[in-house]
Homo-oligomer: A and B are copies of this chain.
């Protein structure tokens, strides 16, 4: 087995076996090199790999540690790769977001958090009174993020956050020909979601969220250039 792969497998084994639990500290690098039988360069490349995946954290001058190993923080590392996915793949991801966020929105409506509706209402007031693309994106993320958090599953929140962050790069809301129509449709979608949450109607909330995100998918799909036929 290659040196870096050997180190990678060894480090993962130390965690998987329970020898090192969440937030535990690894031995110093020279000691790990000896234990794993690889050079320091190879060990460090293996550590970097696991750090990129959110499994390990290196702190300069302090040591190398196992991360908290909670799904939400691991999933959030995904944004580094998801942000590079081309539009074609983003459409597949948006279907995931639609399904998950619809579920989370229904859960939020069922939970009856007394402060949620007021908080969402304030966000929408500000969202409807701005035309700045960056602020729209920020407030939209705040609205959907607050709902997902209220849904009670941090993993779902993390996943939808990552996907929303990728979609946001396409800037549907740049001022242009259809800006007013798109903004109006989007605002109405948000109000429908809020209304369902206010009336504690999970089914309506799920439908409204699903429809709202499906609308986003349609707008993004319109940006996709037609696939080029293979010319001989």
Give Cα A14–Cα B78 distance, bound, in whole angstroms: 18
Would B84 and A71 count as touching, CB distance under 8 A? no
Of B44, B54, B85, B99, the contact of A74 (CB 8 Å cutoff): B85
Known: A50-B52, A80-B12. A92 touches B154 (CB 8 A): yes
Of residues A22, A52, A74, A154, which shows the largest number of chain B Cβ atoms within 10 Å of its Cβ?
Answer: A52
Q: How large is the interface on A (under 10, 10 to 19, 20 to 34, 35 or more residues)?
A: 35 or more
Q: A81: which B residues are within 8 A, CB to CB? A: 50, 53-55, 74, 77
Known: A74-B81, A81-B55, A83-B16. A69 touches B45 (CB 8 A): no
Give Cα A78–Cα B159 distance, bound, in whole angstroms: 12
State the Cβ distance, A162 to closest chain B Cβ, in Å: 11
Of residues A4, A48, A103, which shows the largest number of chain B Cβ atoms within 10 Å of its Cβ?
Answer: A48
List residues of A (40-54) whose CB comes within 8 Å of B's CBs.
41, 44-46, 48-54
Of B48, B52, B74, the contact of A82 (CB 8 Å cutoff): B74
Q: Which residue of B lies closest to A99 (CB)?
A: B103
State the Cβ distance, A77 to closest chain B Cβ, in Å: 8
